[in-house]
Amino acid sequence: MSLIEKCRLINLPKIADERGNLTFIEGNKQIPFGIERVYYLYDVPGGAERGGHAHKQLEQLIIASSGSFDVVLDDGNQKKRFHLNRPYFGLYVCPYIWRELDNFSSGSVCTVMASRPYEEDDYFRNYKDYLLVRSRK
Ligand code: TYD
């Protein structure tokens, strides 16, 4: 299996209710890792791009908790674009995947569940360095 094939959309539980729907996530249950950190992107201006990096160890689940945006995943060989627009779908991203987020709708919120604390040493921030490491694997 190629690295990009390990990344997938996960259909999260949805408790439908006329008072409003509810979705929940438990680490190592609906998603394949324990949750160590949660962060979110919001007030993203039109046309902005986020991401532009890969991680050595970090696993993540990316959710459009409100609105929509695109996530482009790249394993160094293959690229795949996902359009996220439902809060009950999460995109699982494994380590060593370069990601870029764009096409944010106005008022969108991108919530990320992460398997590890914030560690700058875990990032590849340079695409050429990332490709070099991937070509050696
Ligand atoms: P970065 O990961 O580059 O943002 P994105 O991938 O979402 O576009 O992070 C942007 C800045 O925020 C950077 O200076 C590091 C800081 N940051 C933290 O301090 N803690 C965190 O958990 C995250 C995700 C980022």
**Sequence ranges of the domains in the chain:** 4-135
Distance 53 CA to ligand 1 centre (A): 10
Q: What percent of the chain has pLDDT over 90?
A: 98
SS3 for 134?
helix
What is the reported pLDDT for 136? 85
Active site residue 55: no
Ligand 1 binding pocket, CB closer than 6 Å: 37, 39, 41, 50-51, 53, 118
Distance 124 CA to ligand 1 centre (A): 13
Whether residue 137 has pLDDT greater than 80? no
Distance 113 CA to ligand 1 centre (A): 13
Tell me the best of 58, 98, 109, 118 to mutate to test the pocket of ligand 1, counting ligand atoms within 8 Å of each CB and taking the most.
Answer: 118
What is the reported pLDDT for 132? 97
Count of beta carbons in the 10 Å neighbourhood of residue 73: 22
Global pTM reads: 0.97
Distance 39 CA to ligand 1 centre (A): 9
> Do β-strands 37-41 and 89-93 pair in parallel, antiparallel, or remain unpaired?
unpaired
* Among candidate residues 113, 101, 98, 120, the one with its CA nearest the CA of residue 40: 113
Structure tokens at 106: 């106005």
Three-state SS string across 24-88, please? Answer: CCCCCCCCCCCCCEEEEECCCCCCCCEEEEEECCCCEEEEEEECCEEEEEECCCCEEEEEECCCC
Mean pLDDT of 56-79: 98
Nearest residue CA, atom 1 of ligand 1? 51
Spatial separation of the C-alpha atoms in residues 37 and 70, rounded to whole Å: 22
Q: Per the residue annotation, which of 14, 50, 53, 86 is the catalytic one?
A: 53
Q: Say which CATH architecture domain 4-135 belongs to.
A: Sandwich (2.60)
Over the stretch 5-48, which tens digit does the pLDDT of each residue have?
A: 999 999 999 999 999 999 999 999 999 999 999 999 999 999 99
